[in-house]
Amino acid sequence: MYWNALELLTHFLRSFQGISLLIVMPLSGSLIGLVIRILGNPGEISLTVNNIHSRG
């Protein structure tokens, strides 16, 4: 369900170009900041991202 929601969101956001993109990007960042503030610190995200790129 999570991946489906991300895919739908990606298809929806693909239509924004030019000036509208300058409005959507800060609003998206603000929304993410609000979610992090409400739900709390997501933890060691950088560690997870770094492990994706490690060999082994």
pLDDT in tens, 8-50: 888 888 888 888 888 988 998 898 889 888 887 767 676 666 6
Q: What is the pLDDT of residue 54?
A: 60
Q: Which of 18, 19, 24 is nearest to 10 (CA)?
A: 24
Distances (CA, A) of 56 to 1, 22, 48, 50: 29, 40, 15, 13
Q: What is the pLDDT of residue 53?
A: 66
Q: What is the pLDDT of residue 16?
A: 83
CA–CA separation, 2 and 5 (whole Å): 5
The model carries a pTM of 0.54
Q: What is the pLDDT of residue 30?
A: 93
Q: What is the pLDDT of residue 15?
A: 84
Instruction: Please answer whether residues 45 and 51 qualify as being in contact, where contact means their C-beta atoms are separated by less than 8 angstroms.
Output: no
CA–CA separation, 38 and 19 (whole Å): 30
